[in-house]
Amino acid sequence: MSIATVISNLVTFLDGLSWTIDSKTTGFAEVFDYPNFNHGDNPFCVVMDEMGMAETATNMDTQITTTINVYICANYGAADGQTDDDKMSNCYLRIRTAYDKLKQELIKNTTRNTIGVDYIFDGSYSDDVNSDFNIIRRRITLKVKELVSRL
């Protein structure tokens, strides 16, 4: 399966994902497969394949590992709150609840079947604030391994 198909399946999966926050069911406002970090609705998601690395598995096969980063984002400029601290807290709450739901789903075999490929997800993440776009984003990484036959 091509990485483009995996990304497409992942975007479709994320677009249908929902969770509860403050007694309301919500989901991602948008899911992008290109680096669109300038978005006003919260939360939103960006999926990008970052790099691939090939190594010989056997004399007839090559194993290709591709890194896919999923960014869970919230625009603190558009968030609810009276002060900047309130807006930031609101965004972190939205990102944390979205991450918790996504983490629960990513460890399920049914999710692997839905996306259509096996991947490695270790549960770690990194957060950063981008003041140019007024967003907070949490990056999680999936490693997709494919075995390509030389025959």
CATH number, position 22: 3.30.2000
Q: What is the pLDDT of residues 36-66, one digit of tens each?
A: 888 777 899 999 988 667 676 666 777 788 8
Take residue 106 and report the two structure tokens written for it: 């990513």
Q: What is the pLDDT of residues 101-125, one digit of tens each?
A: 999 999 898 898 888 888 888 888 9
Number of domains making up the chain: 1
- Where residue 150 falls among pLDDT bands split at 50, 70, 90? low
For the chain, the helix, strand and coil percentages under 3-state DSSP, each to the nearest 5 = 30, 40, 30
Residues 6 or more apart whose CB falls under 8 angstroms from that of 18 comprise 25, 26, 27, 101
The residue with tokens 């944390």 is 96
pLDDT at residue number 98: 94
Take residue 134 and report the two structure tokens written for it: 């007024």
Q: What is the DSSP letter of 76?
A: T
Residue 9 phi, psi dihedral angles, 5° rounding: -65, -40
For residue 99, is pLDDT > 90? yes
User: Who wins on pLDDT, 81 or 94?
Assistant: 94
Q: Can you tell me whether residue 124 is helix, strand or coil?
A: coil
Written as one letter, the residue type at 102 is: L
Q: What is the pLDDT of residues 119-147, one digit of tens each?
A: 888 888 999 998 888 899 999 999 887 76
pTM: 0.85
Pairing of strands 61-75, 44-56: antiparallel
For residue 82, is pLDDT > 90? no
Per the structure, the complete domain to which residue 44 belongs is given by: 3-149
Q: Is the dihedral of CA 139, 143, 144, 148 positive or negative?
A: positive
Separation in Å, CA 105 to CA 17, 75, 93, 122, 136: 9, 24, 19, 13, 22
Q: What is the DSSP letter of 133?
A: T
Mean pLDDT of the chain: 86
- Where residue 78 falls among pLDDT bands split at 50, 70, 90? confident
Take residue 84 and report the two structure tokens written for it: 């900047």
